[in-house]
């Protein structure tokens, strides 16, 4: 019998942690390789963690609601055959020696705790404790083997009695005034890692409190990180897509009959973007601290929204695909999101994001960069507007705004302006004669 570890997998590009939303197994359950063990939420995807082995679940290290970093232990599983080189989570019975007997007898009065479990704090617990100045050594956890969970910390925060190292020292002092002073200090709002104090909102009769889900928290953290770390700049161009609208409308019926799905405008915009990225590879880059990584592959992230979350699956090697191939990938990825079948692999290695905000009727937006990428382009709604033509005449044309947010550490206005100009030129010259769907 061997004991193996199951760890938090990488569930998407730039995803560093996941939240256990629901365990699908319990200790003692028998599982086969690839059987789902738990449901996990991140800011990009809901996914199931599969078992890497066949065997019997030994111990669930993480509890529901715990957020763990990629690679962090979530459970142990006993497998058949071989001897285990891993140390099981529960402590082994030590050999008895005269010295150990003496030590045991002197500590017998103290309740025995699984200190290994207590000492394993999830990143979310550590971050939450740091933001509120909580001394974890003074907390009794309610999780597996005494593990401290976020729910334990939230109860303490709500009570206002926050145990800190200062509290502990004050309680051992005979000075009552120092105790009072310490408690008053703890009642003051603590600053978070971002420098902002926790928000306190007064509720009134009739207000509805909506619990923040794990995935919504993860989205919030990723958005704050992007805005906090990447200096955003923004620019926009207006594009006359009258020729493109006529072209697409002339072929959409035959395309639907032949391929079995609709041909939307988005694949045309993505095609123009990837062709322009070949000319301006600087936009296909990422900030890496002491260097900029210019990516060889052009993998386009697309934003797909559900009622309560936003997912960003990736069209791999988009520059090698025709408009039809891009359209097929867009449909398949959107279907996976809406049927909750999106995998971690579908989320990896995006290098540039195209956001179709026009599908909601938006005509102008300032998108937040999909960290750690260097830029994101929003395609707004196509609207008919009167336009002054080159000959001085006024005509009704199909117009669209393209809005680009960029990381000013990586990109400057000149190269981004030239990039948008090439995207504009390509879109305005997309006709049946110049552009093939296949």
Distance CA 255, CA 261 (A): 8
CB atoms inside a 10 Å sphere around CB 262: 10
Show the tokens assigned to 267: 């694949």
Q: In sequence order, what are the residues at sequence separation of 6 or more whose Cβ sits closer than 8 angstroms to the Cβ of residue 47?
A: 11, 18, 39, 40, 342, 343, 344
Examine the residue annotation and report whether 78 is marked as an active-site residue of this protein. no
Cα–Cα distance list, 303 to 39, 67, 179, 287, 368 (Å): 22, 24, 52, 21, 12
User: Virtual CA dihedral for 120, 122, 128, 134, nearest 10 degrees?
Assistant: 0
Catalogue the long-range contacts made by 161-167 (C-beta closer than 8 Å, 24 or more residues apart): 161/186, 162/132, 162/133, 162/134, 162/186, 163/134, 163/135, 163/138, 163/139, 164/133, 164/134, 164/135, 165/135, 167/135, 167/138
CB atoms inside a 10 Å sphere around CB 37: 22
Radius of gyration of the chain (CA): 28
Query: 176-186 and 165-172 helices cross at what angle (nearest 10)?
Result: 160
Q: Give the residue carrying structure tokens 């709604």.
A: 381
Show the tokens assigned to 382: 């196509």
CB atoms inside a 10 Å sphere around CB 17: 21
Q: Give the residue carrying structure tokens 């995803």.
A: 15
> Would you mind telling me the total number of residues written for the chain in this entry?
438
Examine the residue annotation and report whether 132 is marked as an active-site residue of this protein. no
For residue 55, list its beta bridge partners. Answer: 31
Which positions are annotated as active-site residues?
Answer: 408, 412
């Amino acid at each position: 019998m061997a004991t193996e570890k199951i760890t938090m997998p990488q569930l998407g590009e730039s995803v560093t942690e996941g939240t256990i939303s629901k365990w699908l197994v319990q200790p003692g359950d028998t599982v086969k390789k690839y059987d789902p063990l738990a449901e996990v939420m991140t800011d990009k995807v809901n996914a199931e963690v599969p078992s890497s082995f066949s065997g019997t679940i030994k111990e669930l290290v993480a509890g529901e609601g715990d957020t763990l970093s990629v690679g962090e232990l979530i459970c142990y599983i006993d497998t058949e055959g071989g001897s285990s080189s891993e140390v099981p989570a529960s402590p082994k019975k030590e050999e008895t020696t005269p010295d150990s007997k003496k030590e045991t007898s002197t500590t017998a009065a103290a309740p025995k705790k699984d200190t290994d479990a207590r000492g394993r704090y999830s990143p979310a617990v550590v971050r939450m404790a740091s933001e509120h100045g909580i001394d974890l050594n003074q907390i009794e956890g309610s999780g597996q083997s005494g593990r401290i969970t976020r729910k334990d910390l939230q109860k303490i925060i709500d009570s206002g009695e926050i145990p800190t190292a200062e509290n502990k020292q004050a309680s051992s002092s005979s000075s009552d005034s120092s105790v009072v002073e310490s408690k008053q200090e703890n009642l003051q709002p603590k600053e978070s890692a971002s420098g902002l104090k926790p928000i306190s909102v007064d509720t009134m009769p009739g207000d509805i409190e909506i619990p923040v889900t794990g995935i919504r928290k993860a989205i919030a953290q990723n958005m704050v990180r992007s805005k906090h770390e990447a200096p955003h700049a923004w620019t926009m161009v207006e594009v006359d897509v009258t020729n493109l609208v006529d072209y697409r409308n002339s072929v959409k019926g035959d395309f639907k009959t032949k391929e079995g799905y609709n041909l939307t405008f988005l694949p045309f915009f993505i095609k123009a973007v990837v062709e322009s990225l070949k000319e301006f590879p600087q936009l296909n880059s990422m900030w890496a601290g002491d260097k900029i990584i210019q990516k060889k592959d052009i993998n386009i992230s697309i934003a797909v929204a559900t009622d309560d979350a936003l997912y960003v699956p990736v069209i791999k090697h988009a520059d090698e695909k025709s408009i039809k191939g891009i359209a097929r990938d867009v449909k398949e990825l959107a279907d996976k999101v809406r049927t909750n079948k999106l995998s971690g692999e579908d989320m990896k290695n995006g290098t540039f994001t195209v956001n179709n905000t026009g599908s909601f009727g938006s005509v102008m937006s300032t998108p937040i960069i999909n960290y750690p990428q260097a830029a994101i382009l929003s395609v707004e709604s196509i609207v008919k507007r009167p336009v002054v033509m080159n000959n001085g005449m006024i005509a009704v044309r199909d117009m669209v705004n393209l809005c680009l947010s960029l990381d000013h550490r990586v990109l400057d206005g000149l190269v981004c302006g030239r990039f948008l100009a090439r995207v504009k030129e390509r879109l305005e010259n997309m006709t049946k004669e110049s552009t093939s769907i296949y």
